[in-house]
Amino acid sequence: MNRIIKSFKGKKKLLSIYFTAGFPNVDDTVDIIHNLQSSGVDMVEIGLPFSDPLADGPTIQKSSATALNNGMTTSYLFNQLIKIRDSIEIPLIIMGYFNPILQFGVEEFCRKCNEVGIDGLIIPDLPAEIFKEKYSALFEKYQILNMFLITPQTSEKRIKFIDKVSKGFIYMVSSAATTGAQNEFSNLQEEYFKRISKLNLNNKLMVGFGISNSKTYKSAISFSDGAIIGSAFIKYIEDNDIDSIKNFIKKIKN
C-alpha cells in the first residue's frame, strides 16, 4: 500500500512539513528529513525549487532562490534521495512547479520518484484536467499519487471533480492567498473548513497555507485529517540548527 494512504489509516491527525530542497545548504536535504521523522512528523513535502514560484509568498520565494543559488537541481535532489528509504519510513512527497518536471521528462521524473521511494507529487500549476487527460496513466504506472489543491473559491462542482482526480489527499488551501504564515484563522476560514469537511469527499483533507503555530495547527486539524506547515518551518531552519527541529515540532504539537 502507498505510504500516504497507509499513514491515514490510524486515528490520529497528521502533521506534514514542507521544506525547500537545497535550503539553507544544498546538502541539508537528508538531514532535515531524518530530523523531521525523529521529531514525530508524519509526512514530508520536499520542495523542488523553481525560479518563478507563482503561488508562493516571500519566504518560499527566498528559500527557492537560495536553493537554486546553492546549486540544487532535479538530478541532484534525486541523487541525495537514493538511499533515503534505508532509514525513512514516513511518506515523502515532492512538491514542485511543472516546468522543471516537464524538462526532466514527466515519465522519467515519475520513474525516478518510484526508484527512490517518493510516494506522491503536488504540482500546483498542473491543472487537474490536463493531468487526467495526459499524465494520470503514467503516474499509475509508477505508483505515484498526485494531490490537488482546493481553495475557499473552488466551487462544489469542481471540488467533486478534483476529489475524483486526486489520489492520497486533497490539499485544502486555507485562504485565498499565496503561501505564508498567519497567526490565526478567521471565522470565515473556519466556516470554509467546516463546509468542506461536510462534503464527505473520498479523499482525506490536509489543510495548508498560513499554519504557523500550535493555535493555527489545532484549528486546522479540528476540521481535517491533518495540516501542512511550510513557510513557518523554513523561517525556523533559516535561523536555527537542523538538530533543533524537534523543538519546533514540539511547540507546534503542544
Partner 1 sequence: MKISQSYNVDKKGFYGEFGGAFIPEMLYPNIKELEENYIKLTSEINFKREFEQLLKDYVGRPTPLYYAKRMSEKYQTKIYLKREDLCHTGAHKINNTIGQILLAKRLGKTRIIAETGAGQHGVATATVCALAGINCVIYMGELDIKRQSPNVARMKMLGATVRPAISGSKTLKDATNEAIRDWINNPVDTHYIIGSVVGPHPYPDMVARFQSVISEECRYQLKEFEGREYPDHVIACVGGGSNAAGIYYHYLDDPRVNIIAVEAAGQGIKTGKSAATSVLGKIGIIHGSKTLLMQTQDGQITEPYSISAGLDYPGVGPMHAHLFDSGRAEFISVQDKEAMNWGLALSQMEGIIPAIETAHAFSILDVRKFEKEDVLLFNCSGRGDKDLDTYIDYFKL
Binding interface with partner 1 (CB under 8 A) = 50-58, 61, 65, 68, 73-75, 97-104, 124-128, 130, 148-151, 153-155, 158, 162, 173, 176-178
* 3-class SS of residue 51: coil
For partner 1, which is the closer residue by CB, 27 or 125?
Answer: 125
Distance CA 4, CA 6 (A): 5
| 24 neighbors 238 (Cβ within 8 angstroms) | yes
Considering beta carbons, is residue 133 or 184 the nearer one to partner 1? 133
Nearer to partner 1, 99 or 143 (CB): 99
56 is catalytic: yes
Contact between 39 and 245 under an 8 Å Cβ cutoff? The reply is yes
Q: Identify the H or E element spanning 94.
A: strand 92-96
Q: How far is the CB of 85 from partner 1 (least distance, A)?
A: 24
Residue 193: Cβ within 10 Å count: 21
**Is 31 a catalytic site residue?**
no
- How far is it, in rounded angstroms, from Cα 177 to Cα 192? 14
CA distances from residue 229 to 60, 173, 205 in whole angstroms, order as listed: 12, 11, 14
| Shorter beta-carbon distance to partner 1: residue 210 or 226 | 210
Instruction: Output the smallest distance, CB 249 to partner 1, in A.
Output: 28
The one catalytic residue among 28, 31, 42, 45? 45
Least spacing, CB of residue 225 vs partner 1, in Å: 19
Q: Per the residue annotation, which of 56, 119, 163, 225 is the catalytic one?
A: 56
Residue 252 CA to residue 91 CA, distance in Å, equals 20
- Neighbouring-strand partners of residue 27: none
Q: 37 or 178: whose CB is closer to partner 1?
A: 178
Give 207's contacts (C-beta < 8 A, 6+ positions apart). Answer: 172, 174, 193, 220, 221, 223, 224, 226, 227, 228
Kindly state the smallest distance separating residue 38's Cβ from partner 1, in Å. Answer: 31
In angstroms, what is the minimal distance from the CB of 213 to partner 1? 21
Catalytic residue IDs: 45, 56
